[in-house]
């Protein structure tokens, strides 16, 4: 086979041609990025933030719009309660410099978590009713001293004169039972309180199968162990109910206290009138 030899081009000329083609391609690519009819962007001074911001592309549209906050609707018979996280000094006003009116403990005398009912809120302070004498004492505590809020739709009303307990659920009476109340020398205190715990397994039958601890305190038996707190409990003498027979506590027949405890959550407000 015979090969026909041609003139071989120098290698340097080929490299120059390739470089020229690459430069042309680069210029065409840049030109494609510049919108038609627009001139070259003005050079921006590094010290001019307004001019720099003007060169930025427009912000993309939001995927969704966050509306104004709307408070959740509350049930008319709903009550808010909170657990106490730490021992804290309660103040007469929502300020650490205000006069101290008492100490709110994290634990009850039965070593269960203390429960309070918030009455008002101001900034980072909460007004609560203290389990202290005189009954009805209120004070302000830092919100950080309380745990998360809980809610209930139950309420217990004890009518001392009629010697009757009524349990309301969503504003409707679901239980009415006779009770024993305090004798004349140790009356059951009146006021607004809260059910703080449910206790069982007593060594004595005196309290029946269940007792509900409350924030109410006897105003006469102040030297009792734990401070004379009023409970709602069963009894080993059901024949004394109804009557004014206790040291201030509210006694129910055992079947009634079992049913009450089944329907009543912790944090339920208690009205004694």
Catalytic residue chosen out of the listed positions 75, 123, 233, 247 = 233
DSSP state of 252: -
Query: Which sign, positive or negative, has the C-alpha torsion 223, 229, 234, 239?
Result: positive
- 3-state SS of 149-187 is EEEECEEEEEECCCCEEEEEECCEEEEEEECEEECCCCC
Catalytic residue chosen out of the listed positions 75, 123, 247, 249 = 249
Residue 249 designated active-site: yes
Residue 123 designated active-site: no
**SS3 (DSSP) at 49:** helix
What does the alpha-carbon distance between residue 91 and residue 15 come to, in Å, rounded to a whole number? 89
For residue 133, the surrounding DSSP H or E stretch is none
DSSP-derived pairing of the beta strands 118-122 and 125-129: antiparallel
Contact (Cβ atoms closer than 8 angstroms) between residue 250 and residue 180: yes
Q: Is the peptide bond between 134 and the residue preceding it cis, with omega within 30 degrees of 0? A: yes
Structure tokens at 261: 């405890």
Would you please indicate which residues are annotated as catalytic (active-site) residues? 233, 249
């Amino acid at each position: 086979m015979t090969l026909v030899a041609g003139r071989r081009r120098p290698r340097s000329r080929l490299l120059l041609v390739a470089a020229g083609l690459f430069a042309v391609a680069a210029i065409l690519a840049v030109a494609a990025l510049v919108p038609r009819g627009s001139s070259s962007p003005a050079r921006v001074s590094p010290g001019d933030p307004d001019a720099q911001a003007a060169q930025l592309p427009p912000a993309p549209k939001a995927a969704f719009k966050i509306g104004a906050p709307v408070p959740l609707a509350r049930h008319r018979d709903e009550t808010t309660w909170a657990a106490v996280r730490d021992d804290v000094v309660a103040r007469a006003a929502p300020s650490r410099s205000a006069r101290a009116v008492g100490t709110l403990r994290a634990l009850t005398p039965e070593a269960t978590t203390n429960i309070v009912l918030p009455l008002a809120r101001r900034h980072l302070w909460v007004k609560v009713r203290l389990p202290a004498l005189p009954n009805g004492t209120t004070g302000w505590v830092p919100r950080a001293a309380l745990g998360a809020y809980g809610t209930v739709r139950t309420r217990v009303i004890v009518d001392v004169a009629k010697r009757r307990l009524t349990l309301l659920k969503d504003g409707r009476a679901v239980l009415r039972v006779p009770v024993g109340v305090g004798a004349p020398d140790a009356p059951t205190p009146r006021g607004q309180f809260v059910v703080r715990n449910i206790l069982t397994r007593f060594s004595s039958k005196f309290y029946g199968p269940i007792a509900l601890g409350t924030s109410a305190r006897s105003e006469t038996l102040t030297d009792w162990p734990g401070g004379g707190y009023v409970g709602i409990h069963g009894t080993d003498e059901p024949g004394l109910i109804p009557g004014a027979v206790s040291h201030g506590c509210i006694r129910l027949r055992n079947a009634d206290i079992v049913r009450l405890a089944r329907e009543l959550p912790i944090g339920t407000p208690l009205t004694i009138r």
